[in-house]
Amino acid sequence: MPPPRLLASALPRSVQLLSRRTYASSARVPLAFDLYEAPSGASDPKNGSIIFMHGLFGSRKNNRAISKILSRDLNRTIYAIDLRNHGDSPHDPRHDYSAMADDVAGFIEEHKLKDTTLIGHSMGAKTAMTLALKSPEMVRDFVSVDNAPIDAQIGRKFGQYVQAMKKIEDADTTKQSEADKILQDYEESLPVRQFLLTNLYRPTGEKIQKFRIPVKTLGAALDHMGDFPFKDPGQVRFEKPALFVRGTKSQYIPDEALPIIGKFFPRFELADIDAGHWVISEQPEAFRNAVVEFLKPKE
């Protein structure tokens, strides 16, 4: 998703950012992350850490501003992670929600996190839901941003983005402006183009730009990225709190999906926000308010 347009100038200096990696078992991918420490220097012992997950073609950098602000407002430590095949995390031929959820489970185990809250947008949302259903003991609650536990086709735009990125790679572009000119044939929105081009970089000692993400791998995965690995809510449920943030101008959480959400997640709450699929960047303050209200300590 595009980077949140948030102003962080008012944040306390005590909010610190650290970049690290984790190392998990061979069956899992070690996830790159940024750590945003709670302003007090240590999270309230009653509150666990938060793991923030981006959407398809995104990275942890997209959630930098909102992570700082939520860490401040909730006094909780936040780990903004790169899911497999994104950002600085390793590439792997397998790209599905079960594998991504297992990576996050390994991350939680490696860091010995307890009472963890998951926040995920789009692809990250289905990853959060998958882990909550698969390993509910690892998850205290979660926030799903504009996605539902249903099988649905992802927007056709994503396939067009893959075509554009392949064309950019084949063109051996040396400047960002050259890549953007190609991308304009596939996407009119400048913020979305800028978001996609954050994946473009120039390897050391080379003139030709390349994409950090494995374009072919993600392109091949598109057909099942709209699927959800759990089909029968009668067999598995997550009985803890869950917040579903819906962009009212988006098609990813239709009204007919709400009963299914309720069966998988009987304690879910719904927050409607006047936005499209890119809820966090389009309506950052409304998103912040919804998340803080849901996650703030209850009296």
Q: What is the pLDDT of residue 222?
A: 95
Give the model's confidence band at 12: pLDDT under 50 very low, under 70 low, under 90 confident, else very high. Answer: very low
Residue matched to tokens 């979305």 = 192
Q: Give the whole-angstrom CA distance, residue 118 versus residue 135.
A: 12
pLDDT digits (tens, 9 = 90+) for 256-269: 999 999 999 999 99
Listed in order, the ranges of the chain carrying CATH 3.40.50.1820 are 17-153+227-295
pLDDT digits (tens, 9 = 90+) for 44-69: 444 599 999 999 999 999 999 999 99
Mean pLDDT along residues 230-249? 96
pLDDT digits (tens, 9 = 90+) for 174-194: 999 999 999 999 999 998 999
> What DSSP state is assigned to residue 61?
G
In whole angstroms, how far apart are CA 246 and each of 139, 174, 255, 278?
Answer: 21, 39, 10, 10
pLDDT at 140 exceeding the cut of 70: yes
b/e burial code for range 237-267 (CB count within 10 A of at least 16 → b): bbeebbbbbbbeebebbeeebeeebeebbee
- Six token digits for residue 238: 């997550």
pLDDT digits (tens, 9 = 90+) for 65-85: 999 999 999 999 999 999 999
pLDDT digits (tens, 9 = 90+) for 143-165: 999 999 999 988 788 999 999 99
Q: What is the pLDDT of residue 27?
A: 82
The DSSP bridge partners found for residue 139 are 116
Q: Give the whole-angstrom CA distance, residue 33 versus residue 89.
A: 8
76, 44 in Cβ contact below 8 A? yes
pLDDT digits (tens, 9 = 90+) for 73-122: 999 999 999 999 999 999 999 999 999 999 999 999 999 999 999 999 99
Residue matched to tokens 């995965």 = 221
Give the model's confidence band at 211: pLDDT under 50 very low, under 70 low, under 90 confident, else very high. Answer: very high
Q: Does domain 17-153+227-295 have CATH number 3.90.550.10?
A: no
47, 115 in Cβ contact below 8 A? yes
Mean pLDDT along residues 202-220? 95
CA dihedral of residues 188, 189, 192, 197 (deg, nearest 10) = 60
Residues with catalytic function: 122, 277
pLDDT at 26 exceeding the cut of 60: no
- Encoded amino acid at 146, one letter: D
How much of the chain exceeds pLDDT 90, in percent?
84
104, 82 in Cβ contact below 8 A? no
Q: What is the pLDDT of residue 17?
A: 37
Region label for 16, one of left (φ > 0), alpha (ψ between -120 and 50) or beta (otherwise): beta
140, 73 in Cβ contact below 8 A? no
Residue 93 CB neighbours (<10 A) = 10
> What DSSP state is assigned to residue 31?
P
Whole-number CA gyration radius for the chain: 18
5 versus 50: the higher-pLDDT residue is: 50
1, 121 in Cβ contact below 8 A? yes
Average pLDDT over the chain, rounded to whole?
Answer: 89
240, 117 in Cβ contact below 8 A? no
Q: In what order do the strands lie in the sheet with 242-247?
A: 17-21, 32-36, 78-81, 50-53, 116-121, 139-145, 242-247, 268-273
